[in-house]
Structure 1
């Protein structure tokens, strides 16, 4: 297997002399879903911002692999333009991605139907519910079909059907060879779908590996839920 994302953050923060995270290193392989978990304030958001190039004060090395070396980011908080319709948001993203018209139309139509937003295409997303806005951001990310997805708290606002659709799309993309780094607080879902888990606390990695390896590092019994390991390690 080849790495589609390699992260080695020696230190990073919002001010030059005040690092928030240290020694965060991991890889995401083709077809792999890596869960990034930790309590509030542990450093998950700073890690994501660092690897996306959103912070000025980062000492580290980030490498995106894959055949096209392309990544897509799905933020926790939707990014909306007040006077653009849903379809116009998708057109803007397609233009930024450099997607051809026919490719854009096929992918956008398919994803709108899958997330049941076809009849909302000419509405302004500023008036959507939180869940509908989140589905729009997922569509924008999935349109690119990148080598790696970075997804931040994707389940916020999604109803059970939308969650099922999202997970099905993730599985399809993983079979295509895309890797996924997903930051989430939904530990029961992370336990079920993640290939490996990175647990951060106090700005550093405190455990990493498969669920079985996390249980061993936490001193938990075989079969213990991820939640129990989380409490033991943080």
Structure 2
């Protein structure tokens, strides 16, 4: 079995040391697999992602990418992943292609690779006609496509994707899913947070289920079914049972 690319060990953290959001959270993501980070609103998914990105410092515990902590080699650590946020964050005065160029420069992608990858991605996401359009004039769904294309253009070892399906049209969703399958097969790791459990069930290899900042369950669907005592159940039904069985749902 391959060594984990991402390792989260004993993570406790949040905005306040007196009331941490996350409590002793541990999980990993290996090369060539997709792990679904799932939970109710307020469960701690976004806080977990912010810690992995290095935007928040753990109170206790460690986070390593390829065995490196962010404070050891910040540039190398950050180049290991690409992040697709839930809400698109673009520069209004840059065009679609200029955003892709910016991502390529940040990750050291050469010009030839940039041109071929950008052309392929814009065609795949039906954005070729908008290559020179300013982001200020794009719809929310188009902006989300720019974020997705920027991440997949640089081909990192780890993709961190937060609620990517919001605002995407059906063709965009299909293109993204096909792209995730391809990069996973090429050996990249994916950590994806989503409430669309029926879609996640078809593509994720393992799951990390959070509830009020604590790990409620983790493993593949068979393991979650076993923890829920629901053989043969869908991920949606297992999720509902696990988050409501103690009466601790929000």
Structure 2 equivalent of residue 4 of structure 1: 5
SS in 2 for 1:3: coil
User: Could you state the TM-score of these two structures normalised by the residue count of structure 2?
Assistant: 0.89
Which range is displaced more, 148-157 or 126-135? 126-135
Mapped contact 1:14–1:56 kept (Cα < 8 A)? no
How big is each residue's C-alpha offset from its partner over 1:91-126, in whole Å with a ceiling of 9 and x where there is no partner? Answer: 111111111111111111111111110110110122
Cα distance between partner residues in 2 of 1:197 and 1:55: 23
How big is each residue's C-alpha offset from its partner over 1:161-211, in whole Å with a ceiling of 9 and x where there is no partner? Answer: 111111111111011100100001000011111100110001111001110
- How large is the Cα RMSD of the aligned pairs? 1.4
The one of 156, 162, 166 equivalent to 1:152 is 162
Cα distance between partner residues in 2 of 1:92 and 1:9: 35
Cα distance between partner residues in 1 of 2:158 and 2:44: 21
Q: Which runs of 5+ in 2 are unaligned?
A: 68-75, 244-250
Structure 2 equivalent of residue 126 of structure 1: 136
Paired residues for 1:49-128 under 5 Å: 49-65=50-66, 70-128=80-138
Structure 2 equivalent of residue 34 of structure 1: 35
Task: Give the total of aligned pairs.
Answer: 232
Cα distance between partner residues in 1 of 2:202 and 2:57: 35
Structure 1 equivalent of residue 47 of structure 2: 46
Cα distance between partner residues in 1 of 2:11 and 2:84: 25
Mapped contact 2:11–2:58 kept (Cα < 8 A)? no
